[in-house]
Amino acid sequence: MLAVHLPVFQVLLPLLAAPVSMLLPGSRVSWVFSTLVSWGCFALSVLLLQQVLQEGSISYAIGGWAAPWGIEYRVDTINAFVLLIVSGISSLVLTGAQASIEREVAKNRIDLLYTCWLLALAGLLGIAITGDAFNVFVFLEISALSSYALIALGSGRRALTASFRYLVVGTIGATFIVIGIGLIYMATGTLNMADMGARLPAVAESRTVIAAFAFLIVGIALKMALFPLHFWLPDAYSYAPSPVAAFLAGTATKVAVYLLLRFSFTIFGGDFAFGAMALERVLMPLALLGIFIASLVAIFQMDVKRLLAYSSIAQIGYMVLGISLVSVTGLTAGILHLFNHALIKSALFMVMACVFYRMGATRLDDFAGLGRRMPWTMAAFVAGGLSLIGIPLTVGFVSKWYLVVAVLERGWWPLAVFILFTSLLAVVYVWRVVEVAYLRPAAEGAGRCEAPLSILLPTWVLIMANFYFGIDSSLTVGVASRAAAALLGIGL
Amino acid sequence: MNGETTMLLALAIPVLTAVLIGLLGRWPNMREAVTLVGAGMLFLCVASLTPGVLAGERPELLFIEFFPGLKLSFLLEPLGMIFALVASFLWIINSIYSIGYMRGNQEQKQTRFYICFAVALASTMGIALAGNMLTLFVFYEALTLSTYPLVVHKESEAARAGGRTYLGILLTTSIAFLLLAVVWTWSATGTLDFRAGGILAGEMHGPMVGVLLALYMFGIGKAALLPFHRWLPAAMVAPTPVSALLHAVAVVKAGVFSVVKVVVYIFGLEFMQAEPSTDWLLYMAGASILIASMVALRQDNLKRRLAYSTVSQLSYVTMATAILAPLSMVGAALHIAAHAFGKITLFFAAGSIYTAAHKTKVSELNGIGWRMPWTMGAFAVGSLSMIGVPPTIGFVSKWYMLQGAFSTGQMFAVAVIFVSTLLNAAYFLPVVYAAFFRKPAVGEDSPEHGEAPWPVVLALTLTAAGTIVLFFLPALPLGLAKGLMGL
């Protein structure tokens, strides 16, 4: 009986838990509570994914009001997968977050952090699960507002400007999205995604719909930090508390990529978005430029968190590149990288949390001699870095393999060369850090100072996940290719 | 014990050795005993597989599926057998040598050194036993990464620069070219298995075949085909045991091994003969041999001279492969073993000189032969093998290469072998001559020294003896090499 209500619990649980965690006495208790809630969400998303893989899509009517009048939650392969990523990353990061949050966030604001975290989680899960376009906007705002607060909690006053900047850009993005949704509503008279998808082809010629499409794509591109709309991201990631960066890097932009898929394929339909509007001709050059420029900029960063942030922008480019190929393999590659990159970047930002915990900063110079002083932390960095580069047996390699196969399928071999060459840029920026950590001696008298086990353990779980899914990719590839086929409307 | 289990052991032993070394790092004697025992067990394991392979068995191991239709798989065939035998046998000797060298020079961080060495050997075994191109690629990359800490072992500015070149070139070529070639092959044929006769025939033709071959040949940077050879001299900043086993045997042989594998099992000899766009390889390899030899002539640093000689010798294997005659293939396979024994001897000698006399330059070696007779005697034997003079194994492999070249009428290859033999003599013999027949410069105030520590001398004597023994008893490598071609 309860199983029927799984979809709504997925969002209700963190949403209701958020204020509760505020009321709990002591930051430690609220940490335990939020972590448990997050793991609960993860369990729900596992159940949902299982159910979807066995029985096909699930439709749930909120309050019993049938779609298209009521709000519908609709779970299919792609968003079940996104739910799994978001809740999984949140749980792992939160498990290891306590020690570094105590260190990085002012004492009286720690309760606030856990509350905002759960709200952000609820928002992100809500965006992924809902089948109602306006509901997307609502959850988008919930997640965005709480992430502004999360970023602002970072130590140092620059966190405030970073957060404010993100707020301005994020609000513009959200506004664009709501305008887009409003215009579609105007043209079709419905807010339900499936219903929109059914009615849009009839009015696809109208200027309203074309304008709606443009607004939506730009709004989403802002949210997912697609080059050249990425400028808010480096500051936000580098000044936020490290665990928050790990959480957002693995989830927020990924959910935006999901929105791009959802809007362009399910709502507007591949024929409109990529046929009539030729979206791929916009996305592909931007993706390529983003990959190249952001990777290049990452090489010259003096702060490692910032370096990782720029690398994230480049990696978003790879995802969008896969999507812009508009083929099953291409989409599979894009969706795969969504999952894989979440694992890579969250792991690496957790490493940053370890380093920040001991060194109080993550400037490149702070890494001198860390190979000896924090052996496990730096080993995790090397392993995560290898995954970022895409060395075989890591998830990064799986993504790269599929992307290159997809590109060659199209016969675009210069693009294949481009992808492989840009992954060499990752070698450069990862190895810069590795060299400093292992080959530059630490300051005199600096002893061993490994990070506490409570951060290290979840970090290594994430790292091991990088290898596990890099060796046995059957689950991720299977789910991603099913989702890709479903989005393109091809039965498997 | 059947072949499959033994293969699994051959892959597991070096890994276990690495773990044990890590655990016993605090007790140097225990740690080094583990290295020796591990190396010995690995060799026994590999050797016990040999009779089966000679009898035509091809044990196979299948592991998890990477991607649909692509498994991590291992398959033992004659060429892999040669490579695994050579690498595992020389690991034993090299371990003896390492102990003498690392202690004699009081090197730091020896535990890390031995761990990385064992991991590198595990990767080498993975390459030798790989059952398809993807598996080979996986271990190829693992070998690059596991040897990087060995190259930068000294952690000096020079080591860092050398490490950058090393990693830069090997990763660039493998990711940008080799991976592209592998994915291309996969999308064109839907398989990456090593099959007799190749997998590309009928799937591809015209100039694209030549392009794909170029991606493979330059992508396998470890084969050091010009112009992607610079990593090898750069790697010489590493301690000598690393240069000896890894940059004369395991790593570079992994390169030419992959070259032969790709030509024989991915392209196939008949397919290559039928596609004129693949002819360039012969000329490129020939040019590589001659240019590298000429560069070697001008090197005063002994290890660098040896490194350029390696570049040139590796291209022998590539050229012999490109001749595309079965006999020259036998020569190529033999040369993998022949060059391994000869070059490791030469590096051992260079390290021995460094340990005993702290000399690194050719010009400083006048008269050193009488102080270090064993070392320089071994050096002379190694040089003869490089030149290809009987009674050394180097002669046998060259003989087969020449036979292959004549059988297909490749006069270019014959000429290259002839000229390069002269060049080899020109840069090795003067060293031997100076060591034994020149007087030390007057007023040279070098302290008195004798031979290097006994483990060092023992190791280099053994490998020098090996080059001679193999000349008289080449049955085993020859049998395996002929098995490769089904002769």
Domain boundaries of chain A, sorted by first residue: 279-492
Over the stretch B283-306, which tens digit does the pLDDT of each residue have? Answer: 999 999 999 999 988 888 888 888
Helix (H, G, I), strand (E, B) or coil at B426: helix
Residues 6+ apart with CB under 8 A from B298: none
User: How many separate helices (H) and strands (E) can be counted in chain A?
Assistant: 20, 2
What is the band of B444 on the pLDDT scale with cuts at 50, 70, 90? Answer: low
CB contact (8 A) between residue A439 and residue B155: yes
Over residues A166-184, the mean pLDDT reads: 93
What residue type is A219 in one-letter code?
G
| Distance (Å, whole) CA A266 – CA A194 | 7
Pair of tokens at residue B458: 């023992």
Say if residue B455 is preceded by a cis peptide, omega within 30 of 0: no
What residues form DSSP beta bridges with A36? none
Q: Which residue of B has its CA nearest to A416?
A: B180
Q: How far from the centroid of its chain's Cα atoms is residue A362's Cα?
A: 22
Question: Measured between alpha carbons, how far is B154 from B102 in angstroms, rounded to an integer?
Answer: 12
Do the chains contact at A391 and B141, CB–CB below 8 Å? Answer: yes
Contact indicator for A357, A451 with CB cutoff of 8 Å: yes
- List pLDDT tens digits, range B60-72: 888 877 777 788 8
Q: Is B178 on the interface with A (CB under 8 A)?
A: no
pLDDT for residue B20 is more than 90: no
DSSP 8-class letter at B193: B
Query: Which residues 34-53 in chain B show a CB within 8 A of chain A?
Result: none
Asked if B350 contacts B302 with a C-beta cutoff of 8 angstroms, the reply is yes
CB contact, 8 Å: A398 with chain B? yes
C-alpha separations of A458 from A97, A354, B446 in Å: 9, 11, 58
Chain A / chain B CB contacts < 8 angstroms:
75
- What gap in Å lies between CA B350 and CA A13, rounded to an integer? 70
> Out of B65, B142, B180, whose CB is closest to A416?
B180
Interface test mutation site (partner B, options A404, A440, A467, A492, max chain B beta carbons within 10 A): A404
CB contacts of B187 in chain A (<8 Å) are: 405, 408-409
pLDDT of B334 above 70: yes
* Minimum distance, in Å, between the CA of residue B142 and any CA atom of chain A: 8
Q: What is the pLDDT of residues A392-411, one digit of tens each?
A: 889 999 999 999 999 998 88
> Which residues are within 8 A (CB) of B442 and not within 5 positions of it... i.e. 6 or more apart?
none
Residue partners of B290: CB distance under 8 A and separation at least 6: B312, B416, B419, B420, B423
Provide the CA B75 distance to its chain's centre, in angstroms.
20
Give the per-residue pLDDT at A492: 47
Partners of residue B219 in chain A, C-beta under 8 Å: none
A421 near B CB under 8 A: yes
Residues of chain A above pLDDT 90, percent: 52
Q: How far is CA A347 from CA A344, A420, A477, B25, B484, in A?
A: 5, 23, 21, 29, 46
Q: Is B449 left (phi over 0), alpha (psi -120 to 50) or beta?
A: beta
Task: Choose among B134, B286, B270, B283: nearest CA to B209.
Answer: B270
What's phi and psi for A60, nearest 5 deg? Answer: -130, 130
pLDDT digits (tens, 9 = 90+) for A132-150: 999 999 999 999 999 999 9
Q: For the residues A420-438, what does the mean pLDDT come to? A: 90
Q: Which of B380, B375, B443, B397 is nearest to B256 (CA)?
A: B397
Of A405, A423, A474, the CB nearest to B183: A405
CA distances B487 to A214, A396, B257, B317, B326, Å, are: 68, 43, 19, 19, 8
Q: What is the pTM for the complete model shown?
A: 0.90
Judge whether residue B188 has pLDDT over 60: yes
**Which H, E and C letters describe B11-57, residue by residue?**
HHHHHHHHHHHHHCCCCHHHHHHHHHHHHHHHHHHHHHHHHHHHCCC
Please tell me if residue B180 touches chain A, with a CB cutoff of 8 Å. Answer: yes
* Strands A72-75 and B60-67, bridge-based pairing: unpaired
User: What span, in angstroms and rounded, lies between the C-alpha atoms of A479 and A338?
Assistant: 12
CA distances from B131 to A92, A121, B16, B183 (A): 37, 45, 22, 16
Whole-angstrom distance, CA of residue A253 vs CA of residue A151: 15
Buried residues in A21-51 as b, exposed as e (16+ CB within 10 A): beebeebeebbebbbebbbbbbebbeebbeb
Chain A residues touching B141 at Cβ < 8 A: 391-392
Chain B residues 66-85 with a CB less than 8 Å from chain A: 66-68, 72
* CA of B138 vs chain A CAs: smallest distance (Å): 5
Which DSSP string corresponds to A330-391? Answer: HHHHHHHHHHHHHHHHHHHHHHHHHHHHHHS--BGGGGTTHHHHSHHHHHHHHHHHHHHHT-
Q: Do A439 and B152 touch (CB under 8 A)?
A: yes
Quick one: what percent of chain A has pLDDT higher than 70?
99
Higher pLDDT, A489 or B345: B345
Within A60-157, residue ranges assigned H as helices are 77-104, 110-129, 133-152
Give the pLDDT confidence of B80-106 residue by residue, as tens digits: 888 898 888 888 888 888 887 777 777
Residue of A42, A51, A91 whose CA lies nearest to A74: A51
pLDDT band at B442 (very low <50, low <70, confident <90, very high): low
ipTM summary value:
0.85
Strands (E), B68-216: 70-75
Please provide the average confidence, as pLDDT, over all residues in chain B: 86
Query: What's residue B445's pLDDT?
Result: 54
First CA to last CA across chain B, in angstroms? 29
Collect all residues of chain A within an 8 Å Cβ-Cβ radius of residue B159: 439
Nearest CA to A174 out of A127, A134, A219 is that of A219
Calpha distance A266→A253 (Å, rounded):
19
Cα–Cα distance for residue pair A343/A187, rounded to 1 Å: 40
Token pair belonging to B217: 């040949």
Q: In the prediction, which pLDDT does A134 show?
A: 92
Please name the amino acid found at residue A249.
A
Note whether B152 contacts A390, CB cutoff 8 Å: no
Length of chain B: 487
Please give the pLDDT value at position B1.
64
